Amino acid sequence: MVELQFLIITVIVLALIFDFINGFHDTANAIATSVNTRALHPSHATMMAAGLNFLGAMVSTGVAKTIGGDIVSSASIVDEKVIIAALIGAITWNLLTWWFGLPSSSSHALIGGLIGAVLISVGVSGLNWSGVGKIVIALIVSPAIAFFTGIIIMNIIFRVFEKFSPHVLNDKFRKLQVISAAMIAFSNGSNDAQKSMGIITLALFSSGYIAEFEVPLYVKIMCAAAMALGTATGGWRIIKTVGGKIFKLEPPSGFAADLNSSIVVFGATLLHLPVSTTHVVSGSIMGVGTAKRVNAVHWGVAQQMVKAWGMTIPITAAIGAASFFLVKTVF
Q: What is the pLDDT of residue 172?
A: 87
Separation CA 291–CA 269 (nearest Å): 27
- The three-state secondary structure class of 72 is strand
**pLDDT tops 90 at residue 303:** no
Q: What is the pLDDT of residue 197?
A: 94
Q: How confident is the model at residue 97 (pLDDT cuts 50, 70, 90)?
A: confident
**pLDDT tops 70 at residue 40:** yes
Compute the average pLDDT of residues 99-110.
Answer: 78
**pLDDT tops 80 at residue 95:** yes
Q: What is the pLDDT of residue 112?
A: 93
Residue 270 domain boundaries: 2-330
210-238: pLDDT as tens digits? 988 999 999 999 999 999 898 887 655 55
**pLDDT tops 90 at residue 4:** no
Number of residues that this document lists for the chain: 331
Q: What is the pLDDT of residue 30?
A: 66
Separation CA 325–CA 204 (nearest Å): 22
CA dihedral 8, 12, 18, 20 (to 10 degrees): -160
**pLDDT tops 70 at residue 46:** yes
- The three-state secondary structure class of 112 is helix
* Distance set, CA 2 to CA 7, 9, 210 (Å): 9, 11, 17
Domain count, the chain: 1
Q: How confident is the model at residue 87 (pLDDT cuts 50, 70, 90)?
A: very high
Count CA atoms closer than 13 A to 59's CA, side-chain side.
16
- The three-state secondary structure class of 60 is coil
13-32: pLDDT as tens digits? 999 999 998 887 766 566 77
Least confident of 4-8, 115-119, 313-317: 4-8
> Does the predicted TM-score (pTM) go above 0.85?
yes
From the CB of residue 222, how many other CB atoms can be counted at a distance below 10 Å? Answer: 19
150-164: pLDDT as tens digits? 999 999 999 999 888
Contact status, residue 30 vs residue 160, Cβ threshold 8 Å: no
Q: How confident is the model at residue 239 (pLDDT cuts 50, 70, 90)?
A: low
pLDDT greater at residue 179 or residue 4: 179
CA 160 to chain CA mean position, Å: 32
Q: What percent of the chain has pLDDT over 70?
A: 91
Q: What percent of the chain has pLDDT over 90?
A: 44
Q: How confident is the model at residue 149 (pLDDT cuts 50, 70, 90)?
A: very high
- For the chain, what is the mean pLDDT? 86
